[in-house]
Amino acid sequence: MPLSEFELIRKYFQSPSGARPDVRCGIGDDAAIVAVPDGMDLALSMDTLVAGVHFHPDAAPADIGYKSLAVNLSDLAAMGAQPAWALLSLTLPEADETWLGQFMRGFNELAEKYAVALIGGDLSRGPLSVTLEVHGFVPAGSGLRRTGARADDLVYVSGTLGDAGLALKVLAGQAAVSAGDQSYLCGRLHRPSPRVALGLALHEVATSAIDLSDGLAADLGHVLEASGVGARLDPEKLPLSEALQRLDREAAWEIAATAGDDYELSFTVPPEKRSVFEEERALECPVTCIGRICAQPGLQWVRPNGVTWRPEGAGYRHF
């Protein structure tokens, strides 16, 4: 007889990070109970990954486990929050213990890095999908919002852009790259790095932040709309990995500006804080200034020679 839901949860969901002192009651009761530290607010984010939509049904289970946590931690990073706890709801066509074990191995790899305790969740039968909710702390009254960008603020992005987008094109047979580049790009697609340390360092410095899940143009567009401003960016400044640099230049810009799934941060910094910020930035990843916020609404791309450029795509649409 296969293991029951309860036995499966006991066997696979007891994460090695389950022993945080702020967890008063973890997996195994009707609800988890946790203590939020004094002086801290709670940041919460929930994301669902559906097989066939957000990942290939045959993707490596360990990668799905890793990525499901990474994309949620990326949302916390964009608020400048310190990760703490996660709840996981897995829907599986059948109780495949090999799949579950590998999924949790990938999940735990990242959970241990950030001391995230898995404190609860649900296991259901149905079409494969993963829903995760993560919780983190921000100093009370704080938190990096989308609403604070002001004219003249500098626009930064972390890491390099477009790697996940190019990986998807390669996997779809729409682009060809070397085996080495393919391996690098697929690593970026399947195991994105949530910019948690960068997010924490942005408190007191950044006026706004967002994570790039749907592509720079779409996601920065949310910040511009929420802040009631516009931006003028230089496509030549877009930070590109070597794999992207080997493409035709405008094709690389197109991917870097519009493709989703990179999970880098885009944030704005007032010019007078630039030096403070650039001293601190030997953090975890490079950051690049790609332009400026302006009062006039809308997103414009202007090259240093004054020629405007315009990406063709508009970012990922979920419906």
Task: For tokens 């991917």, name the residue.
Answer: 255
**What separation in angstroms does the CA of 226 have from each of 46, 208, 222, 290, 295?**
21, 10, 6, 20, 13
Contact between 158 and a second copy by CB under 8 A: the answer reads: no
Q: Interface residues for a second copy in 77-116 (CB under 8 A)?
A: 78-79, 81, 85, 87-89, 91, 94-95
H or E element that contains 14: none
Cα–Cα dist 58/64, whole Å: 10
Tell me how far, at minimum, the Cβ of 261 lies from a second copy, in Å: 14
**Per-residue binder mask for a second copy (CB under 8 A), 2-41, x = binder:** xxxxx-x---------------xx--xxxxxxxxx-x--x
Is-contact 148 208, C-beta < 8 A?
yes
Q: Interface residues for a second copy in 128-157 (CB under 8 A)?
A: 129, 131, 133, 135-136, 138, 140-141, 143, 145-146
Q: Which is nearer to a second copy, 28 or 271 (CB)?
A: 28
Q: What is the dihedral of CA 21, 35, 206, 243, to 10 degrees?
A: 50
Q: Where does this chain touch a second copy (CB under 8 A) — which range of 105-113, 119-127, 182-190, 289-297?
A: 119-127
**Per-residue binder mask for a second copy (CB under 8 A), 203-222, x = binder:** ------xxx----------x
Q: From its phi and psi, is residue 260 left (phi > 0), alpha (psi between -120 and 50) or beta?
A: beta
| Best CA proximity match to 124, nearest among 72, 98, 88 | 88
User: Hey, what amino acid is at 119?
Assistant: I
Q: Which is nearer to a second copy, 6 or 178 (CB)?
A: 6
**Per-residue binder mask for a second copy (CB under 8 A), 174-203, x = binder:** ------------------------------
Q: Interface residues for a second copy in 42-81 (CB under 8 A)?
A: 42-48, 50-54, 75-76, 78-79, 81
Tell me how far, at minimum, the Cβ of 304 lies from a second copy, in Å: 31
User: Cβ neighbours of residue 226 under 8 Å, at least 6 residues apart?
Assistant: 145, 146, 147, 208
Q: Which is nearer to a second copy, 235 or 311 (CB)?
A: 311
Q: Which is nearer to a second copy, 143 or 187 (CB)?
A: 143
